[in-house]
Amino acid sequence: MSTEMVKTESELPVNPFAREIDERLNAGTVEVEIHRAVAEVQAALLIAKRFPRNKAEAFEKIIATCCRTEFAEAATYSYPRGGQTITGPSIRLAEEMARAWGNVEFGIRELAQYDDETEMESFCWDTETNVRSKQTFRVKHERHTRQGITELTDPRDIYENNANLGARRLRSRILAIIPPDVVNEALKQCKLTVAGDATVPLSEKIRGVVRKFATAGVTVKHLERRLGHRIDEMLPDEYADLVAAYNSIKDGMSQASDWFDTGKATTVSEAAEKIDSKLKPETEIKTETAAGVGVTEPPDINVCEYCGASVSDALRIASDNKFGRTLCREHQPADKEQP
């Protein structure tokens, strides 16, 4: 009777050439990627030479796009510097000009990501003239605010921060490729479109820009102080300048305090305290201390009057509006008398 000897994996002889196999596989993958990249570059250059851009047609496309009101309002930004206002095209206008100009490749690459920063590259390549503008930069995983520097750990926050700072570099790379006179004409058309849009009354546009600035903590008084006159006397050119200022604040190019005398920035906790103070009733109740001296104390508005349980702000407001008393959910009567 014969017995079969089954060797376990640990008893098998070690292949001394296994490392060479892995190296050949890795080298093959790299070789394929190299050939693919070379083929893509050659194809882009060949197509650009066979189908050159029509500059007159490209210019007409850019101006036609700048005639759209919604696009024109987001196409410019401005920020104060040295007592002057610097105005320029936003990333949206830069991208649209690159698309309309034709035979242009642009984008942002993430080269490497470390624990506290990301190495990135922005580029713009005119395949017709074979002119490339690129910039390699590092983005710290942090956000700068008036309250200090906040470290970013959430992957989504890191991605959004990288995309925001990368877009600014990308805009500069695109503007290095597009002719400056084309950029200037596009900016002029955008301003004319925003200021001269007759489809929407100026009064309605003014109300819209006031609502936008309100989200940034800028009130009508701040706007009137900067304009030097009442808000309803705003001119079309002034409206266009305010739209550019709002885009700058929204994109993080500047802050509201750079344009308006808004004072110290309000934090979230301070805003919450202001809301709570507005919710507190003005009536006060009299109490007596051990010494018998009468003092005034505000009532606890977040306590059920029936059982003393804690009540949220939203539930308290709903209860006060319906029953005239602060009641917890358990003691809010439906179709019966109040307790």
Structural domains counted in the chain: 2
Where is the domain boundary, 179, 198, 217?
A: 198
**At residue 77, does pLDDT exceed 60?**
yes
Where is the domain boundary, 198, 226, 252?
A: 198
Does a structural domain hold residue 231? no
pLDDT tens, residue by residue, 109-151:
999 988 889 999 999 999 999 999 999 999 999 887 767 788 8
Residues 260-283 have a mean pLDDT of: 49
Does a structural domain hold residue 132? yes
pLDDT, residue 233, reads 80
Same domain, residue pair 66 and 181:
yes
Does a structural domain hold residue 237? no
**At residue 264, does pLDDT exceed 70?**
no
Does a structural domain hold residue 273? no
Yes or no: say if 195 and 236 are a contact pair by the CB < 8 Å rule: yes
Provide the pairing of β-strand 142-145 with 117-126: unpaired
Residues 206-216 have a mean pLDDT of: 84
Same domain, residue pair 192 and 287:
no
pLDDT, residue 128, reads 92
Same domain, residue pair 61 and 181:
yes
Where is the domain boundary, 144, 172, 198?
A: 198
Residues 173-192 have a mean pLDDT of: 92
Residue 167: give the domain boundaries. Answer: 55-198
Largest CA distance in the chain: 111
Locate the DSSP E strands across the chain: 76-81, 84-89, 104-113, 117-126, 131-140, 142-145, 148-151, 285-288, 294-297
* Share above pLDDT 70 across residues of the chain, in percent, rounded to a whole number: 71
pLDDT tens, residue by residue, 27-39:
667 777 777 888 8
Does a structural domain hold residue 288? yes
Query: Which of 124, 123, 152, 121 has the alpha carbon at shortest distance from 137?
Result: 121
Residues 211-225 have a mean pLDDT of: 84
Residue 22 — very low, low, confident or very high, per pLDDT cuts 50/70/90?
low
Residues 309-333 have a mean pLDDT of: 71
